[in-house]
Structure 1
């Protein structure tokens, strides 16, 4: 059965993972996030209830 022969598929898998870890992953990780996290506490907006004229 050819699907039990790991000879060609193991090399393809190994090559693709090495390509991913050596070339693609560092390029992806080099991007800077557009909104870096900050330690600032979020502001809680001061909301006032709406006064409806018909109530």
Structure 2
């Protein structure tokens, strides 16, 4: 049984791994959103706490 030359398969594996890493990196950086802090408005009236009827 002839043995395959590992040189092209190693290059294919490395390139596919690099492509997958680039895809995952762009997906994760695109999904992160900047969470800007909001200031609390103390001029509004505070409401009473609301509970579910079955609790």
Give the TM-score taking structure 2 as reference length. Answer: 0.44
Give the TM-score taking structure 1 as reference length. Answer: 0.44
